[in-house]
Amino acid sequence: MIKCCYKTHIGNKRDSNEDRGCVPDTVNFGLIAVADGMGGHKCGEKASDIAIHSISRLKKENTALDDILRAMISVNEEILEMSLTDDKYSGMGTTLTCAFLTSDEILIGHIGDSRAYLFSGNKLTQLTTDHTYVAELQRAGLIDEAQARTHKYRNVITRCCGVSIDFEPELKKCGWEESDIILVCSDGLHSELNDKQIFDILSADGSIESRADSLINLALSHGGDDNITAVLSQNEEENP
């Protein structure tokens, strides 16, 4: 059985919430996702709305990575078409990180700087790669994590949905077991919290709802400069 929750907060400094998320409507399998829109107030909201509405059509139990790829390509095309045909949405885009969950498998589709983490065996693993200019500098060994957190170009995204027909999402498959937790979140969460802080909350006792609240509240207490969204799912034992 898969238990899920979706929590979002406007943050301390924004006047609108451009983050969107979804959880499945079944406890046996389904999709979780987070999209973080960009391009200004209405543009960002529209882009993330389209992304979540479109990607949430993935509802069949035998969903494969190819299905996720096709769905993400469709998201990109829908947003790009609207931005090119309606001037008020020109230049909009969004990150998109999704995970299709079954009882033993996680299928990841990802583009942008929202993230997916897996908490398993008392270990926290980041499943996705940030598609940002600063992350590329880190991977090249030119800056360290501390420098990345304060870099003046830390918000520059190198890949997202809706800005180009040239679209390269990241796809990944991994297993998960009973009691494991997957976290999908926007950068408003992970930019305020380090891995140890996320680990400490996910490893604490309590429901996934209370842990999601704790993640968001801690991010708010650290500044909350951006919208903050967390989707948590736990692989629970089937009820007898």
d(CA 229, CA 14): 13
- pLDDT score, position 212: 98
- pLDDT score, position 229: 98
Name the residue among 157, 39, 45, 56 with its Cα closest to residue 98. Answer: 56
- 187 lies in some domain: yes
- 98 lies in some domain: yes
- pLDDT score, position 145: 82
- 227 lies in some domain: yes
* Phi–psi pair at 194, nearest 5 degrees: -90, 175
- 138 lies in some domain: yes
- 86 lies in some domain: yes
- 240 lies in some domain: no
Where on the phi/psi map is residue 67: left (φ > 0), alpha (ψ -120 to 50), or beta? alpha
- 80 lies in some domain: yes
- pLDDT score, position 149: 81
For the chain, 240 residues long, give each residue's pLDDT as a single digit of tens: 999 999 999 999 999 999 999 999 888 999 999 999 998 767 999 999 999 999 999 999 999 999 999 999 999 999 999 999 999 999 999 999 999 999 999 999 999 999 999 999 999 999 999 999 988 898 899 988 888 888 888 888 999 999 999 899 999 999 999 999 999 999 999 999 999 999 999 999 999 999 999 999 999 999 999 999 999 999 987 654
d(CA 28, CA 5): 14
- pLDDT score, position 135: 85
Where on the phi/psi map is residue 39: left (φ > 0), alpha (ψ -120 to 50), or beta? left
d(CA 24, CA 233): 10
- pLDDT score, position 41: 63
Q: Which CATH number covers residue 183?
A: 3.60.40.10
User: Tokens in use for 67?
Assistant: 């299905």
Domain coverage including residue 56: 2-235
Confirm if 155 and 165 have CB atoms less than 8 A apart. Answer: no
User: Tokens in use for 12?
Assistant: 């301390």
Confirm if 211 and 182 have CB atoms less than 8 A apart. Answer: no
Give the number of domains in the chain: 1
- 57 lies in some domain: yes
